[in-house]
Amino acid sequence: MLAVMFFAFIIQVVSRYFFNMPTGWTSELTVIMWLWLVLWGAAFVVREDEEIRFDLLYGSVRKGVQRVMVICTALVLIALFLISLPASWDYVTFMKIQSSAYLKIRFDWLFSIYIIFAVAVVCRYIWILARALGARWPGKKPHQTGPQA
Amino acid sequence: MSLTDPFTACILLLVTLAVLGLPVAYSMILASILYLLMAGLDMGTAAEQLLNSMYTSYTMLAVPLFILAAELMNSGSMTTRLTNFANALVGRFRGGLAQVNVLQSLLFAGMSGSALADAGGMGKMMMRMMTQDGKYTPSFAAALSAVTAVVAPILPPSIPMVIYALVSNASIGYLFLGGILPGLLISASQMLIVWWSARRNNFPTEEPVPVRELPRITLRALPALMLPVVLIVGLRGGVMTPTEAAAVAAAYALFVSVVIYRDVGLREFYTSLLNAARTTTSIGMLIAAALVFNYIVTIENIPNAIRSLLLSYDLTPLTFLLLVNVLLLLIGAVLEGSTIILIIVPVLIPTAAALGIDPIHFGVVVVFNVMIGLVTPPYGLLLFVVKRVSGASMGAILRDTVPFLLGLLVALMLITLIPDIVLFVPRLFGYSG
Amino acid sequence: QSNVPLRFSAVFSQQDIRAEMMERFAAALGDGFDFQGFYGATLFRQGTELVALQRSNLEMGNIAPQDISEQLPEWSVLTSAYLFRDADHLVAFFQSDAGEEMKKMAEDRLGIRVLGPTYFGVRHVGLRNQRDINTPADMAGLRLRMPGGDSWQFLGQALGANPTPVAYAEVYTALQTGAIDGQDNPMPNVQNMKFYEVMSQIVKTSHLVGFDVLTISKSTWDKLTPEQQAQVQAAADEAIAWSNAQHLQNEADLIAFFEEQGLTITEPDLAAFRTYAQQLYQSSGAAARWPDGIVERINGL
Ligand code: NA
Ligand code: NA
């Protein structure tokens, strides 16, 4: 998706400057890709240790306490995301009445990524919760050990 | 204020979840959902705000593309060649590579208006250069990359200044000019601090490079060094807008690595894309969540509360500016930058105008304040970005940020107390304020 | 009985004349209403207010006719070039039978009630470098920045130019560097955004009378008593009339101001522009969705 963003931008610059052609669809495509990239990535790609979080407290307490912290936050997340899911669904499906300006994609399709994201995050945290409740809780490293490649 | 008040509950939940270690982005979204639930509002608004604000945030697209540009530079030999060049130039001095980091941000500031893009993109490259062979601690490299990035939106072009001009009716051209001296002041103060801590902490020097080697090393690094030139020419020459410049930077990095240096293939390109996408996701999620949280702050009428607070005091221009500094630094610790300019600053502008404060001076002071907020915990976006990239712990990064933060505060005081630092250059170009 | 909450969201800033228009509106409402204005698109983003109204997350909004025609193609006629002659013509239309029919359409099919048009200036073309422009043919090859979206880009073509979308916040830089040759905005925007600093000429093409519509959601409207409805409509009429007069005065003053700033102001052959644009619109697909005879009825007002 980042590649699509990148090439769409290049087409935009080239076609405006060198060919003097209008290119609204390229900006639209990049914005769509940006939205999908972030939410899709958050749902399926980013690993637990890549998330941006405060680890001051988490990193300084015992493993047992860490486990309680994980259980509490996971429960809150699952509960609130599930409670809001019907309303989110309602909003996303409501958007079928509008389409994007250039590519004419219906907004309910464009915005469906939020539902995918919300469901995926709930599933992930159910899994994290189950692991924290289970016997073989591995604990988590307080922070990454070195720069990412 | 009680637990049944939606806004109080929302803030409490946000702080609790974040302290307990839930990712900050999720903490903000969940706190917002709780607010909507308790206030009896449509919970679909959380989705609505996240989706629409991302969908309409065209100028933010510079962030992922500058990150990609830096990834591409890292995957080939561009970074190494730049390191060699920088080493040859200032490596023999104590803390030379750290000085290079400051210079890099100054150069980058001339082509980008986004501090996040600097820290997430070029900052990553600098951190890798500084920490390889264990020369500097990851936390110092991270702290330095965060604070040096602050200069990006102070020097033109600048996204926050465009937003300020939008809400204040100040001239964008003069605002840009007004940022020049303060930007140089920031970088100069940072070089001074690096020089000071280099002597105190005995930072490494690099092997002196013979002067006759210099032309060869410069030539090898030349295509990489040309990047700022290409961007500045492209911007001034009207080939591209500032947002598009990010894509051109990536394209140029790809071109140099594939065609000139010939050390990036399809596989490396793919890996760079993937890495850049991962970084983009974490940072993008944080921005998205901040935009949802904004809705809550706006609907709660926080800006109006501030306005009436200000009106209840009898202020002189100077006490007002100092109060604004304190206020924005406090808010900057918990809210995202463009949000502050869009929501809080319009509340302050009428008072500033009534007190006879120059709008260009006020604008630069505001943008400077907001940028300091990016490196002030707990909500310091730049700190999160460098932490994410460097892997150092937040505690260590914060410790190493302190001297630079003090330096920035001193610079802020100077700019606040001496309007001429801001207004000198605009006046050279005919500004009559 | 508790007050009726009226949350209002608009793209214009707190410093805009129209923000003061809303303060006047709120003051004229008197007791019984709880008006809260959010400006600068801080509550809802540009273009999303209509859906917010329809989903009861907002009671009032200042909606662009372009946004309405997204859901109601019949309204796209109101966004076409050279339709209204000036602000008075615009107001006259909304008070005419034809105007009532369009408002009724929006009420029945979109669930919003239009209180009246909020005029914000006539759009003219502004150029980076001086150029002799008399007819649409003189616009050929000109990179003219138009807002994003099909209907805006089409408007650019209807002027004979090469339309290109650039984000509003980047227009200043794009003009300065020459990424674009010109932009089209009403004069108050040219002043607000300081475009005149990087422009050298204004061609008074008067191609579009810029307006939004002050709107209240139908669900809120239907809950009001007949007295309250009359009160809201009267307050809106009065505030809108005040704002329109302010804008007209402002535009007249700005011409002098821009000339003082060294800009050249030229008058092109408006008849040539009008003929060219109306032909292009009539032969395009958009006109097929317009209500029968609407253009003639508006022209006749
Ligand atoms: Na900059
Ligand atoms: Na740096």
Could you give the 3-state DSSP secondary structure of residue B166? helix
| Phi, psi at C185, each rounded to 5° | -155, 160
Rounded Cα–Cα distance for residues C65 and C76 (Å): 7
* pLDDT tops 50 at residue A149: no
Could you give the 3-state DSSP secondary structure of residue C55? coil
- φ/ψ region of B95 (left if φ > 0, alpha if ψ in -120 to 50, else beta) reads left
Q: Do B244 and A9 touch (CB under 8 A)?
A: yes
Identity of the highest mean pLDDT range in B286-300, C166-180, C199-213: C199-213
Q: In chain B, how many domains are there?
A: 1
- Chain B residues lying within 8 Å of C172, measured CB to CB: 162, 165, 172-173
What's the start-to-end Cα distance of chain A, in Å?
20
* Secondary structure letter of residue C182 according to DSSP: E
Q: Which two tokens stand for residue C144?
A: 């003219």
CB pairs under 8 A between B and C: 97
Rounded Cα–Cα distance for residues A47 and A55 (Å): 16
pLDDT category, A147, cuts 50, 70, 90?
A: very low
pLDDT category, C122, cuts 50, 70, 90?
A: very high
Residue B78 lies in a domain: yes
Report how far Cα C24 is from the mean position of its chain's Cα atoms: 20
- For the CA atoms of chain A, what is the radius of gyration? 20
Q: What is the pLDDT of residues A44-54, one digit of tens each?
A: 887 777 777 76
Rounded Cα–Cα distance for residues C295 and C255 (Å): 30
Ligand with the closest atom to the CA of B109: 1
- φ/ψ region of C32 (left if φ > 0, alpha if ψ in -120 to 50, else beta) reads left
Give kind and range of the element (H or E) at residue B178. helix B172-178
Which residue of B38, B41, B55, B72 is the best one to mutate when testing the A interface, meaning the one whose CB has the most A CBs within 10 A?
B55
Residue B325 lies in a domain: yes
Please enumerate residues of C whose Cβ is less than 8 A from a Cβ of A.
51, 54-55, 70-71, 141, 143, 148-150, 153, 156, 162-165, 167, 179
pLDDT category, A17, cuts 50, 70, 90?
A: low
- Per-residue model confidence (pLDDT) at position A15: 56
Q: Are B117 and B67 in contact (CB under 8 A)?
A: yes
Which residue of C12, C194, C197 is the best one to mutate when testing the B interface, meaning the one whose CB has the most B CBs within 10 A?
C194
pLDDT category, C133, cuts 50, 70, 90?
A: very high
Could you give the 3-state DSSP secondary structure of residue C112? strand
Of C108, C8, C17, C10, nearest to C67 (Cα)? C10
**Which residues 40-59 of B have a C-beta within 8 angstroms of C?**
41-42, 44-45, 48, 52-53, 55-56, 58-59
Give kind and range of the element (H or E) at residue B358. none
Sorted by sequence, the CB contacts under 8 Å of residue B217 that are 6+ apart come out as: B84, B85, B88, B209
pTM: 0.77
Q: Where are the beta strands (DSSP E) in chain C?
A: 4-9, 33-38, 60-63, 112-127, 143-146, 162-165, 182-186, 201-217, 264-266
User: How high is the ipTM of this complex?
Assistant: 0.82
Of B364, B325, B337, B358, nearest to B179 (Cα)? B364
Rounded Cα–Cα distance for residues B156 and B169 (Å): 18
**How near does any CA of chain C get to the CA of B52, in Å?**
7
Q: What is the pLDDT of residues C250-301, one digit of tens each?
A: 999 999 999 999 999 999 999 999 999 988 988 887 788 888 888 889 988 8
* All chains having 3 or more CB pairs closer than 8 angstroms to chain B: A, C
Of B335, B414, B384, nearest to B145 (Cα)? B384
Q: Are B49 and B276 in contact (CB under 8 A)?
A: no
Rounded Cα–Cα distance for residues B341 and A16 (Å): 32
* pLDDT tops 70 at residue C24: yes
- Measured torsion, CA atoms of residues B105, B247, B153, C127, in degrees rounded to the nearest 10: 140
- Per-residue model confidence (pLDDT) at position C166: 81
Interface contact A105, partner B, CB < 8 A: no
- Measured torsion, CA atoms of residues A23, A28, B23, B3, in degrees rounded to the nearest 10: 130
Q: Which two tokens stand for residue B361?
A: 């001076």
Interface contact C19, partner B, CB < 8 A: no
Ligand 1 ion: Cβ-proximal residues, 5 Å cutoff: B 109, 113, 152, 155, 158
Of B138, B74, B424, nearest to B268 (Cα)? B74
Strands C182-186 and C143-146: parallel
* Closest CA in chain A for residue B251: A10
**How near does any CA of chain B get to the CA of A116, in Å?**
12
What average pLDDT does the segment C159-168 reach?
A: 86
- Per-residue model confidence (pLDDT) at position B113: 63
Identity of the highest mean pLDDT range in B381-395, C98-112, C169-183: C98-112
What average pLDDT does the segment B351-358 reach?
A: 82
* Secondary structure letter of residue C37 according to DSSP: E
Q: Where are the domains of chain A?
A: 1-45, 52-139
Rounded Cα–Cα distance for residues C50 and C11 (Å): 12
Strands C33-38 and C4-9: parallel
Give B188 Cα–ligand 2 centroid separation in angstroms: 13
Q: Are B176 and B156 in contact (CB under 8 A)?
A: yes
- Per-residue model confidence (pLDDT) at position B72: 78
Angle, vertex CA B113, rays to CA B247 and CA B26, nearest 5: 85
Rounded Cα–Cα distance for residues B395 and B390 (Å): 13
Q: What is the pLDDT of residues B57-107, one digit of tens each?
A: 766 676 777 777 777 777 777 766 776 777 777 767 777 778 888 877 877
Task: Nearest by CB to A27, from C141, C156, C165: name it.
Answer: C165
Q: Please name the amino acid found at residue B189.
A: S
- Per-residue model confidence (pLDDT) at position A21: 52
Give B155 Cα–ligand 1 centroid separation in angstroms: 4
Average pLDDT, chain B: 81
- Tell me which of B112 and B133 has the higher pLDDT: B133
Could you give the 3-state DSSP secondary structure of residue B208? coil
Q: Which domain holds residue B377?
A: 42-428
Which has the minimum average pLDDT: B73-87, B126-140, C116-130?
B73-87
Q: Which two tokens stand for residue A136?
A: 């073989």
Sorted by sequence, the CB contacts under 8 Å of residue B354 that are 6+ apart come out as: none
Residue B34 lies in a domain: no
Rounded Cα–Cα distance for residues C234 and C192 (Å): 30
Rounded Cα–Cα distance for residues C222 and C32 (Å): 16
Of B185, B218, B194, B209, nearest to B96 (Cα)? B194
Give how far Cα C128 sits from Cα of B267, B426, C125, C144, Å: 45, 22, 10, 10
Rounded Cα–Cα distance for residues A51 and A16 (Å): 38
Residue carrying structure tokens 């810029």: C210
Residue B6 lies in a domain: no
pLDDT category, C88, cuts 50, 70, 90?
A: very high
Of A58, A40, A52, nearest to A132 (Cα)? A58
- Per-residue model confidence (pLDDT) at position A143: 41
- φ/ψ region of B327 (left if φ > 0, alpha if ψ in -120 to 50, else beta) reads alpha
Interface contact A94, partner C, CB < 8 A: yes
What's the start-to-end Cα distance of chain B, in Å?
44
Of B428, B157, B174, nearest to C197 (Cα)? B174
* pLDDT tops 90 at residue B346: no
pLDDT category, A144, cuts 50, 70, 90?
A: very low
- Chain B residues lying within 8 Å of A3, measured CB to CB: 273
Give B183 Cα–ligand 2 centroid separation in angstroms: 13
